[in-house]
């Protein structure tokens, strides 16, 4: 009777002493705890500092909730701040989120599905084009987009900030592409399409009734990531002379930096809530599929 020899330098689990195994588990837990603690400190200290700055007046040292009250009541006159610009920028950014997500989904999802079915070579070309904005600095994009926006503002559209959606659709494309590509690679698209077509389904029916239900999680991921990018974008809007949330926060910071910082914290909190809701929705969808 022969036994498979363990590789040199290793100890089989069957002969590992319980004390050694427990010590290894303890060491792994300690390393994980240390890494998690350092990560939380790295991310948490700046946020706590921002919160303290909004509560403590930098000159008198007096603690007050006045900046937060000004945001939730919409009246910053007692602190010498005009919040109308802030609400205008916030409304513009929220509208840009909706329009940008719609443009992104209309451009990417059909093109990526068709390329995934028809041609892997074309899929690689689309991937290269979609990820190209990551390699181009925002200032360079603005240099190229500036003349186009001047022509659009003067002859075709207007100077309304909502038309930043075209530039933002380019900025969010790399992140959205990667999220949708993960969904496409996780399902057998060709088999699903062939099965549906063999049963007499038209291509629009295959797309909306067969593929889209299997891509909902990826579409939600792409949408939420795009929203986070749009809410945090400053360079393009500022250099093109348009108003959005980040530009409004910068201008508000010139008159009252505490209110500006408090609003920035709320924007960060909104981004975290988006990621948490994405995780909850993904888990609910996964459990629903397992139950069915």
pLDDT digits (tens, 9 = 90+) for 47-96: 888 888 888 887 777 888 888 888 888 777 777 777 888 888 889 999 99
User: What fold does the segment set 77-291 form as a domain?
Assistant: MetI-like fold (1.10.3720)
Q: Where are the domains of the chain?
A: 14-64, 77-291
pLDDT at 230 over 50: yes
Can you tell me which residue has the tokens 């108003």?
243
pLDDT at 246 over 70: yes
pLDDT at 9 over 70: no
pLDDT at position 72 is 84
pLDDT at position 153 is 81
> Mean pLDDT throughout 216-240?
89
pLDDT at 3 over 70: no
pLDDT at position 79 is 74
24-59 core/surface letters (b: 16 or more CB in 10 A; e: else): eeeeeeeeeeeeeeeeeeeeeeeeeebeebbbeeee
pLDDT in tens, 167-226: 999 999 999 999 999 888 888 888 888 888 888 888 888 888 888 888 888 898 899 889
Task: Using a cut of 0.75, tell me whether the model's pTM lies above it.
Answer: yes
What is the Cα–Cα distance from 249 to 235, expressed in whole angstroms?
A: 13
pLDDT at 103 over 90: yes
* Three-state DSSP state, 249: helix
pLDDT at position 1 is 46
Q: Report the percent of the chain where pLDDT is more than 70.
A: 92
What is the Cα–Cα distance from 123 to 127, expressed in whole angstroms?
A: 6
């Amino acid at each position: 009777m022969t036994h498979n020899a363990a590789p040199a330098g290793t100890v089989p689990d069957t002969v590992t002493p319980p004390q050694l195994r427990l010590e290894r588990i303890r060491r792994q837990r300690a390393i994980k705890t240390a890494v998690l603690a350092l990560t939380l400190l790295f991310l948490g200290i700046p946020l706590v500092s921002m919160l303290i700055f909004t509560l403590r007046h930098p000159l008198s040292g007096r603690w007050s909730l006045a900046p937060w009250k000004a945001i939730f009541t919409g009246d910053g006159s007692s602190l010498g701040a005009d919040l109308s610009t802030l609400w205008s920028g916030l409304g513009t950014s929220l509208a840009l989120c909706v329009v940008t997500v719609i443009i992104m989904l209309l451009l990417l999802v059909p093109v990526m599905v068709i390329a995934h079915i028809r041609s892997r070579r074309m899929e690689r070309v689309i991937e290269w084009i979609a990820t190209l904005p990551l390699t181009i600095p925002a200032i360079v994009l603005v240099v190229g987009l500036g003349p186009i926006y001047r022509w659009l503002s003067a002859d075709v559209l207007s100077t309304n900030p909502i038309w930043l959606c075209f530039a933002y659709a380019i900025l969010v494309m790399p992140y959205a592409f990667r999220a949708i590509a993960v969904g496409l690679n996780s399902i057998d698209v060709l088999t699903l399409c062939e099965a549906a077509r063999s049963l007499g389904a038209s291509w629009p029916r295959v797309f909306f009734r067969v593929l889209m239900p299997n891509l909902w999680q990826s579409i939600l991921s792409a949408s939420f990531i795009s929203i986070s990018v749009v809410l945090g974008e400053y360079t393009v809007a500022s250099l093109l002379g348009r108003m959005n949330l980040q530009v409004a926060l910068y201008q508000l910071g010139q008159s009252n930096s505490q209110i500006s910082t408090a609003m920035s914290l709320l924007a960060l909190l909104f981004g975290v809530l988006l990621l948490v809701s994405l995780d909850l929705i993904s888990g609910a969808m996964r459990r629903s599929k397992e139950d069915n």
